[in-house]
């Protein structure tokens, strides 16, 4: 069965960076694009970006341009989300989510990771 398993919770100081991983299994890793979505406490879900696991191409929300980097390792079927220059406003649960339709920039999220809580605190 399709599974997306994320790395564990992180606590970071303001100004630091965080890197969260998302390991995919149960399907062909390169067939479906992967997204990152975050949810701050009491806030709505917020889309951050998308990566094509096959070629590595990416697209980011304007809000996060210059601060977020999505990468992938095809050998381990893992995608990574790195967010830099953290502030308290980045405290949130970060999710990876699979695009529903294969082989295209699809924005329906059919499988999600379990979420990774990132806490930014001095």
Partner 1 sequence: DIQMTQSPSSLSASVGDRVTITCQASQDISEYLNWYQQKPGKAPKLLIYDASNLESGVTSRFSGGGSGTDFTFTITSLQAEDIATYYCQQYDHIPPTFGGGTKVEIK
The residues of the shown chain that bind partner 1, judged by CB under 8 A, are: 44-47, 59, 61-63, 95, 97, 100, 107-110, 112-115
CB of 109 to partner 1, least distance (A): 6
Pick the closer one to partner 1 by CB: 103 or 107.
107
Return d(Cα 34, Cα 99) in angstroms, integer: 6
CB of 16 to partner 1, least distance (A): 25
CB of 61 to partner 1, least distance (A): 4
Pick the closer one to partner 1 by CB: 41 or 75.
41
C-alpha atoms less than 13 angstroms from C-alpha of 6 in its C-beta half-sphere: 25
CB of 92 to partner 1, least distance (A): 13
Return d(Cα 53, Cα 11) in angstroms, integer: 28
Pick the closer one to partner 1 by CB: 16 or 91.
91
Return d(Cα 71, Cα 44) in angstroms, integer: 25
* Buried b / exposed e along 63-78 (16+ C-beta atoms within 10 A): ebeeebbbebeeeebb
């Amino acid at each position: 069965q399709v599974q997306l398993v994320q790395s564990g919770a992180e606590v970071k100081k303001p100004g630091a960076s965080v890197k969260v991983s998302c390991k995919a299994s149960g399907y062909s890793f390169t067939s479906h694009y992967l997204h990152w979505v975050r949810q701050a406490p009491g806030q709505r879900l917020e889309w951050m970006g998308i990566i094509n696991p096959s070629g590595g191409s990416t697209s980011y929300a304007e809000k996060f341009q210059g601060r977020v980097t999505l990468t992938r390792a095809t050998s381990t079927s893992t995608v990574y989300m790195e967010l830099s220059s953290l502030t308290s406003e980045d405290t949130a649960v970060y999710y990876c989510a699979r695009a529903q339709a294969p082989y295209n920039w699809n924005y329906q999220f059919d499988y999600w990771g379990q979420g990774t809580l990132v806490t930014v605190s001095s």
